[in-house]
Amino acid sequence: MIETAPVKLSFKQQQLQFRENAILDAVNRLLAQKGFDLMTMDEVAADVGIAKASLYKHFQSKEQLAAASMTRLLESALTLAHGLPEHHAPLDKLKAVVRWAVTEHLGGTMPLLPSTRSSTQQALLAYQPYIDRLSSLTEQLGEWIEQAQADRSLSASLPGEVILYTIYARSCDPVADFLQMGGAFSNQDIVDLVIHTTFEGMTGQT
Amino acid sequence: MIETAPVKLSFKQQQLQFRENAILDAVNRLLAQKGFDLMTMDEVAADVGIAKASLYKHFQSKEQLAAASMTRLLESALTLAHGLPEHHAPLDKLKAVVRWAVTEHLGGTMPLLPSTRSSTQQALLAYQPYIDRLSSLTEQLGEWIEQAQADRSLSASLPGEVILYTIYARSCDPVADFLQMGGAFSNQDIVDLVIHTTFEGMTGQT
DNA sequence: GTCTATAAACCGATAGAC
DNA sequence: GTCTATCGGTTTATAGAC
């Protein structure tokens, strides 16, 4: 077998990747804390410990920076989804995804879902890498939703889109923030409560 | 019976009240469209048809303007809540409030719920008239929640705060926006779907 | 109270030296 | 690529004439 193109990155490339990851870490945290509009490039630069101008050597604009952060987040979600045991029930897989998202949210690393009418939303939809990941995740979730409706663990009369959008929306549910602020529940409790109300509702006897 | 203080406002006062109401209408719409951060005072002034400086004769700051708008919204909610037939089941009263809120949301007159970590949130919590209305509404909803849990129409094992926060959060549920953007459902359908998933969840056979 | 004009601060993005 | 310094534009809020 012949060695083809080198798989290993050069030291320069590794260092660049490391720096960009550090930037995205800061962006992720700031997006979760204050959202896109209130996050400033000065803040990001200060948080990473570099000059603002250096940021623009890595990312063309604030929008692209946020898009890259969101893309990395979707990639984490995809990794989690693909790593779930194949033999688990589809409903349990869906719950596992929401559980992961809410946990990330409580940990302060879940960027705020861009408002439907925000200008950020348009920038995201014009960023192909983001769209690709979102499509992949939507396809995977849609598959599980169909399976769960077929085996009657999810309501078959509910339109699939409603279930899909609800799952996405609950990943940024402000209810989790309110409960965390209250201080009466542990993060584990909050996750369980959100999962329960999302899937079983509030009218059950449970 | 002796006529005491005049109930009727002077013409000047009426005109002032009318103008301020027009301002709050514009603010309400803009808050729903773009949120607090992206709404500019220039826009508000242009929308009302007056100069920006005139805005500051009515309201001290952008924060107080938004707070006044939110306060008026809560007053509408209180009016609705107090107007509900007394003999209705507590669960139905709760659903009626959410139904009203989601309908307002779809109509584009529901200001975005301020992010938990936003600076706007602090301004709101410092504005007494807002706090008063919020307390009143919370008290009324809390009463109905307790009654609904007592008659077993709401899960008794679910902490009341979770139900309360969920009701507040669903009033600004982005799921409604997504479904409206999709264009496959009428506004009436969307409201029904949100109400259903909020209270009955997604696992039922219905 | 309403207007025009402007002050003061902030932010995204860039220039240019190293 | 990283830095300092700065441009150009936008926004909140106010001054001052009417």
Q: Do A162 and B184 touch (CB under 8 A)?
A: no
Of B199, B76, B31, residue with least CA distance to B191 = B199
| For A163, nearest residue in chain B (alpha carbons) | B202
The residues, any chain, with a CB within 8 Å of residue B180's CB and separated by 6 or more, are B106, B187, B190
The residues, any chain, with a CB within 8 Å of residue B39's CB and separated by 6 or more, are B27, B30, B31, B33, B62, B66
The proportion of chain B whose per-residue pLDDT surpasses 90, expressed as a percent, equals 83
Residue B3 confidence (pLDDT) above 60: no
Cα(B134)–Cα(B153) distance, integer angstroms: 25
For residue A48, what pLDDT band results from cuts at 50, 70 and 90? very high
For chain B, what is the mean pLDDT?
Answer: 93
Question: In the predicted model, what is the mean pLDDT of residues B198-205?
Answer: 92
The residues, any chain, with a CB within 8 Å of residue A165's CB and separated by 6 or more, are B174, B175, B178, B179
Cα(B115)–Cα(A156) distance, integer angstroms: 34
Cα(A129)–Cα(A204) distance, integer angstroms: 41
Question: In the predicted model, what is the mean pLDDT of residues A47-66?
Answer: 97
Residue B116: per-residue pLDDT? 72
Closest residue, by C-alpha, to the C1' of D14: B53
Cα(B194)–Cα(B171) distance, integer angstroms: 9
B148-201 pLDDT, tens digit per residue, is 999 999 999 999 999 999 999 999 999 999 999 999 999 999 999 999 999 999
For residue B55, what pLDDT band results from cuts at 50, 70 and 90? very high
The proportion of chain B whose per-residue pLDDT surpasses 70, expressed as a percent, equals 94
Of A77-91, A104-118, A191-205, which range is least confident? A104-118
CB-CB: which of A177, A198, A202 is closest to B154? A202
| For A198, nearest residue in chain B (alpha carbons) | B201
Q: Which nucleotide is nearest to A37 (CA to C1')?
A: C11
The residues, any chain, with a CB within 8 Å of residue A206's CB and separated by 6 or more, are A196, A200, B155, B157
Residue B113: per-residue pLDDT? 66
The residues, any chain, with a CB within 8 Å of residue A155's CB and separated by 6 or more, are A149, B202, B203, B204, B205, B206
User: What is A61-199's CATH number?
Assistant: 1.10.357.10
Q: Where is B82: in which H helix or E strand?
A: helix B62-82
- Number of Cβ atoms within 10 Å of the Cβ of A14: 11
Residue A199: per-residue pLDDT? 98
Question: Chain C: nucleotides under 7 Å from a protein CB?
Answer: 1-5, 10-16
| For A30, nearest residue in chain B (alpha carbons) | B117
CA A62 to C1' C12, in angstroms, rounded, equals: 8
Residues B197, A162 contacting (CB under 8 angstroms): yes
Residue A95 confidence (pLDDT) above 90: yes
Residue B204: per-residue pLDDT? 78
Residue B119 confidence (pLDDT) above 70: yes
The residues, any chain, with a CB within 8 Å of residue B91's CB and separated by 6 or more, are A203, B144, B148, B151, B153, B154, B199
CA distances B80 to A79, B75, B90, B97, B101, Å, are 47, 9, 14, 7, 10
Residue B2 confidence (pLDDT) above 60: no
For residue A1, what pLDDT band results from cuts at 50, 70 and 90? low
CA B108 to C1' D10, in angstroms, rounded, equals: 26
Residue B205: per-residue pLDDT? 72
Residue B16 confidence (pLDDT) above 90: no
Q: Model-level pTM?
A: 0.94
Question: In the predicted model, what is the mean pLDDT of residues A44-56?
Answer: 97
Quick check: A52 CB within 7 A of strand C? yes
Interchain CB contacts (distance < 8 Å): A and B: 141
Residue A200 confidence (pLDDT) above 70: yes
Q: Do B117 and A33 touch (CB under 8 A)?
A: yes
CA B153 to C1' C12, in angstroms, rounded, equals: 53
CA B7 from centroid of its chain's CA atoms:
28
Q: Do A178 and B157 touch (CB under 8 A)?
A: no
Of B68-82, B104-118, B152-166, which range is least confident? B104-118
- Number of Cβ atoms within 10 Å of the Cβ of A103: 18
Residue A3: per-residue pLDDT? 57
Residue B9: per-residue pLDDT? 67
Q: Where is A183: in which H helix or E strand?
A: none
For residue B65, what pLDDT band results from cuts at 50, 70 and 90? very high
Residues A111, A70 contacting (CB under 8 angstroms): yes
> Look-up: residue for tokens 């609705």?
B80
Quick check: B61 CB within 7 A of strand C? no
CA A190 from centroid of its chain's CA atoms:
18
Q: Do B158 and A203 touch (CB under 8 A)?
A: no
Residue A121: per-residue pLDDT? 83
Residue A15: per-residue pLDDT? 85
For residue A16, what pLDDT band results from cuts at 50, 70 and 90? confident
Q: Which residue has the higher pLDDT, A142 or B11?
A: A142
Of B26, B22, B21, B68, residue with least CA distance to B44 = B26
Domain assignments of chain B as residue spans, ordered by start = 61-199
